[in-house]
Amino acid sequence: MSLRESLPQVKTELPGPKAKAVLERRAAIVPAAISTIYPLVIERAEGAMIEDPDGNVFLDWVGGVGVMNVGYSQPEVVEAVREQAGKFFHSMMNITANPRYIEFAEAIAKASPVKGDPVQVMLANSGAEADENAVKIARSATGRPNIIVFSGAFHGRTALTMTMTAKKAYSIGMGPFPDGVYRAEFPYLYRAPGGLDGDDAIAYYVNKLEEVFENASPPQHVAAIVFEPVQGEGGFVPAPLEWVKAVRAICDKHGILLVADEVQTGFARSGRLFSSDYYKEGGFPVDIVTFAKSVAGGLPLSGVICAKEVMDRVTKGTIGGTFNGNAVSCAAALAVLKKMQDEDYPAKALAIADTCMARFNAWKEKYPAIGDVRGLGAMMGVEYIKPEGGAAKTPNPELVGKIVAAAWKKGLILESAGTYGNVIRFLCPLCVTDAQLAAGLDIYEACIEESL
């Protein structure tokens, strides 16, 4: 059976002898500050499966943190990369026009979820770079200095995006930080104060956002409000549609650009190509979308989409970069997009979500340690609380640590998330087979049982 079709199988102690040797070399040469969760070495990977150098096979529910939506080593993507590599790798877009950049930008523009038509596409290399460029575009286009971001947000590790990121564990000792970044409360409904829910909870969070205009930056100085449609690092917390709609109205009232950071939520994960498609369908599209991670099936590529009318207001020469829209990455991205459209990956995400949500919700009934189950499409999180459960909702990161450790010993790669480290995320490649998904769910439940 090919690796692509196989089921998780652990044959050695973990890590095995060959993996151990690689990890020893890693410890010597790779800075410890680039922290690692698993003592796991990848030798090859196909679909949703990873093989280590000792022949152990793992089902990957993390996918390089949302990079592998299309699956590892898909033949069409590999072939597109091979073909482009035989022609040329690089073109500096300021010097020589790279047709692959143009073809990919045209293709993604056709699927654009943002407000305005026509749109233009700026390509870059990483998620942080895309987010940073979205802010630069918004500042230049509006002539305003400030931005508003949210509690629980993760936007990257550059100086600006580290500042935009909420969790300060990611920026200890890295100051001074850039000015002009203000923070409002994200609608984390499970933890809404006083158990508020429904319209009352939405009204509370909208009010919290408007307080920033009073306490920190008047709206006429705000260029952009930047949010994640589903917070990733923040704990897989979806932004409620009604809240996004209200934020859109606030932006319209004050001439502020609304930016959706789709670095983790993009490329079919949510049940649409972009999560922002849901907003467009509802009649309240965002102004700017950023994307990265899964766009090129594992090669570095990111981008910003917004109306040409907005892009036209950006001062010439202020955005760009040497490797922006690398030809090999763009060739891969074209193949990824075609495969996702031809095989309806958004529908695959919704089918996976149905299967998983049925199991996760059943577990919630069975195990008081599960406080919340939530998500958008196949971007799902299970939040764990202390056994006393109930209104205290005390986070239980220790239990999550035990489940994650137990799962990889059985061949399932899980990862935690969340401000309190008490959420287990689901970011499995969307090409996972039914048998693999069922095996993963069985391993996960066995690990909950043995970790309680």
Ligand X SMILES: Cc1ncc(COP(=O)(O)O)c(C=O)c1O
Shortest distance (Å) from residue 429 CB to ligand X? 17
Q: How far is CA 100 from CA 74, 84, 417, in A?
A: 19, 9, 35
Nearest distance, CB of residue 228 and ligand X, angstroms: 5
Q: Which is nearer to ligand X, 336 or 370 (CB)?
A: 336
Q: Which is nearer to ligand X, 261 or 277 (CB)?
A: 261
**Min dist. Cβ of residue 329 to ligand X (A):** 13
Smaller CB separation from ligand X, 98 or 165: 165
Of 301 and 307, which has the nearer Cβ to ligand X?
301
At position 222, the amino acid (one-letter code) is V
3-state secondary structure of 433: coil
- Rounded CA gap, 338 and 76, in Å? 9
With respect to ligand X, which residue has the nearer C-beta, 278 or 367?
A: 278
Residue with the shortest CB distance to ligand X: 127
- Quote the least distance from Cβ 394 to ligand X, whole Å: 26
Nearest residue (CB) to ligand X, 126 versus 326: 126
- Amino acid identity, residue 170? Y
Cβ 256 to ligand X shortest distance, Å = 20
Q: Which is nearer to ligand X, 296 or 439 (CB)?
A: 296
Q: Is the sign of the CA dihedral 394, 397, 399, 403 positive or negative?
A: positive
Q: Is the dihedral of CA 422, 270, 122, 67 positive or negative?
A: positive
Strands (E), 128-248: 146-150, 181-184, 222-227, 230-231, 237-238
Nearest distance from C-beta of residue 161 to ligand X, angstroms: 7
- Strand ranges inside 15-99, DSSP E: 44-46, 49-51, 57-60
Closest CA to 78 of 296, 280, 324: 296
Q: How far is the CB of 229 from ligand X (least distance, A)?
A: 9
Per-residue burial over 387-426, b if 16 or more Cβ lie within 10 Å, else e, is: eeeeeebebbeebbbbbbebbbebbbbbbbbbbbbbbbbb
Shortest distance (Å) from residue 291 CB to ligand X: 10
Q: Which of 369, 451, 441 is nearest to 406 (CA)?
A: 451
Tell me how far, at minimum, the Cβ of 322 lies from ligand X, in Å.
17
Between 131 and 242, whose beta carbon lies closer to ligand X?
A: 131
Helix axes 434-451, 397-409, angle to 10 degrees: 130
Measure the CA–CA gap between 267 and 47, rounded to whole angstroms.
Answer: 16
* Contact residues: ligand X, CB under 6 A: 65, 126-128, 131, 154-156, 228, 232-233, 261, 263-264, 292
In what helix (H) or strand (E) does residue 371 lie, and over which residues does it extend?
strand 370-376
> Which C-beta is closer to ligand X: that of 261 or that of 383?
261
